[in-house]
Structure 1
Amino acid sequence: MENTQTTDRTETHDTISSEKVDGTAVYGRDGDQIGSVHHLMIGKRDGQVRHAVVSYGGFLGMGEDYFPLPWSELTYDERRGGYIVDRDIAQLKDGPRYQRDREPSWDRSYDDQLTSYYGVRLM
């Protein structure tokens, strides 16, 4: 007898594949869509997601700004099927960001700049 039930191996109740996170909408506290998750930065040694890099603006990848947010800043909203950030776009624009051809050094100093701006600590 063949099992006709399929299992979605990219998402469970407690985990999700990074493939499904990339492109997920990100909304500000006002409910407006800010952008979408472009990629995640993951600690090589501890495996913890450190930052979600959110893309904003631009067209077909041109002129986009990227906002690295500490992962703890994002909360998944099942109703929206996206992440909520308790910030607005003005706060993001005043914080650390970069353009595609100017990616920062992802070193301790940059981590400190991010965590200082958002008032959080990395795990």
Structure 2
Amino acid sequence: MTTTTSSHDVISSDRVEGTNVYNAAGEKLGSIDDLMIDKISGQVRYAVMEFGGFLGMGTDRYPIPWSMLKYDTSQDGYVVNLDKATLESAPRYATDNVPDYDDEYSLTVNKYYGMP
């Protein structure tokens, strides 16, 4: 597989996974572990960010509505308008306990972040 730097507007999900996420102050919050995609519309609903833990152990997963993340070319990562304290109280789950992402769970996540 050849990896090249590109300025295209479309990116493969495997290149998004592992991308750093920063807050507006430029502090690294974590990195994207997974994308949750709506099966019907094909739109990305959530970026699941790894946050906490050490060397991947004890790391929780935090679903963040995709529309909250903005790509910043100067940081080569995504920026979200959240501070660490807000994120620490956000809905999360352990790697081995992935929720169903049903309507109830999505409502909980969206309500926490003030999304419709």
* Cα distance, 1:105 vs structure 2: 2.0
SS of equivalent residue, structure 1 residue 69: strand
User: In the aligned structure 2, how far is the partner of 1:94 from the partner of 1:39?
Assistant: 20
| 1:99 partnered with 2:94 | yes
Contact 1:40 1:52 (8 Å CA) reproduced? yes
Counterpart pick for 1:54 among 34, 49, 53? 49
2:12 equivalent among 14, 17, 27: 17
Cα distance in 2, alignment partners of residues 70 and 98 from structure 1: 15
TM-score scaled by structure 2? 0.90
Instruction: Give the conservation status (yes or no) of the 8 Å contact 1:11–1:17.
Output: no
Distance 1:27 1:34 in 2: 5
Q: Give identity over the alignment, percent.
A: 50
The CA RMSD over aligned residues, in Å, is 1.8
| Counterparts in 2 of 1:34 and 1:7: CA distance versus 1, 3 Å | closer
- Runs of 5+ consecutive residues of structure 1 not aligned to the other structure: 1-5
Q: Deviations over 1:24-65 (max 9, x none)?
A: 000012211000000000011110000000001223321001
Per the alignment, in what secondary structure is the counterpart of residue 101 of structure 1? Answer: coil
Task: Look up the SS of the partner of 2:30 in the other structure.
Answer: strand
The aligned residue for residue 90 of structure 1 is: 85
The one-letter code sitting in structure 2 at the alignment partner of 1:120 is M
Q: Could you tell me which amino acid in structure 2 is paired with residue 20 of structure 1? A: R
User: 1:80 aligned to 2:87?
Assistant: no
Separation in 1, partners of 2:19, 2:3: 21
Aligned residues: 115
Larger radius of gyration: 1
Moved >4 Å (runs of 4+): none
Matched residues in 2 for 1:94 and 1:11: separation? 36
Q: Which moved more, 1:67-76 or 1:88-97?
A: 88-97
Give the residue type in structure 1 aligned to 2:36.
M
TM-score computed with the length of structure 1 as normaliser: 0.86
Does the 8 Å CA contact 1:34/1:56 hold for their aligned counterparts? Answer: yes
